[in-house]
């Protein structure tokens, strides 16, 4: 995989807390980041929201890879919701206290072969989640089209 060699992303402050992110892939659009009030003006997502998006995307892509690429299933479009919790650490600094990810399958569990095997493996192959999980608890739930829970992992909260 080419990602093993690394990547470089550039950030340039535009004004206030607005930062333009330039990605290292040609033709990728820039992304504008900002902070919520009172520091910024919400011209774009802040870093904590990008972390949440990265975790949700990585878990969803990992599950999709297992179902679609590895086992040749057609799971339909996946949907994910990531809820972030901000908390203060022992020094009173705000941190991401935890993330809860809910991935929704478009099909019922019975319509997908090898689903149990994917439920056992997909989190372990998610680069982002497994990279940050040592500092930020990440809860994961996968449900099928009927809302039935197929996979669930809950972690103790690091911050209160």
CATH at 78: 3.30.300.20
pLDDT per residue over 51-82, tens digit each?
999 999 999 999 999 999 999 999 999 999 99
Sheet of strand 138-143: strand arrangement: 79-88, 94-104, 138-143, 149-153
117 within some domain: yes
Tally the domains of the chain: 1
pTM (predicted TM-score): 0.86
CA 23 – CA 57 distance, rounded (Å): 17
DSSP-assigned beta bridge partners for residue 86: 96
103 within some domain: yes
142 within some domain: yes
pLDDT at 157 over 50: yes
pLDDT reported for residue 76 = 94
Which residues form the domain of 123? 47-153
């Amino acid at each position: 995989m080419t990602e093993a060699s690394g990547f470089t992303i550039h950030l340039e402050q535009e004004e206030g807390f607005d930062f333009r992110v330039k990605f290292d892939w040609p033709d990728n659009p820039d992304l504008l980041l900002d902070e919520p009030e009172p520091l910024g003006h919400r011209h774009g997502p802040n870093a904590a929201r990008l972390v949440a998006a990265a975790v949700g995307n990585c878990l969803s892509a990992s599950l999709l890879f297992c179902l679609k690429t590895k086992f040749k299933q057609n799971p339909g479009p996946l949907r994910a919701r990531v809820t972030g919790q901000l908390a203060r650490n022992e020094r009173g600094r705000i941190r991401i206290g935890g993330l809860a990810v809910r991935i929704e399958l478009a099909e019922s569990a019975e319509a997908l072969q090898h689903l149990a095997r994917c439920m056992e493996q997909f989190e372990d192959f998610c680069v982002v989640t497994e990279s940050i999980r040592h500092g930020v608890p990440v809860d994961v739930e996968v449900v099928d089209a009927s809302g039935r829970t197929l996979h669930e992992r809950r972690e103790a909260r690091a911050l209160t």
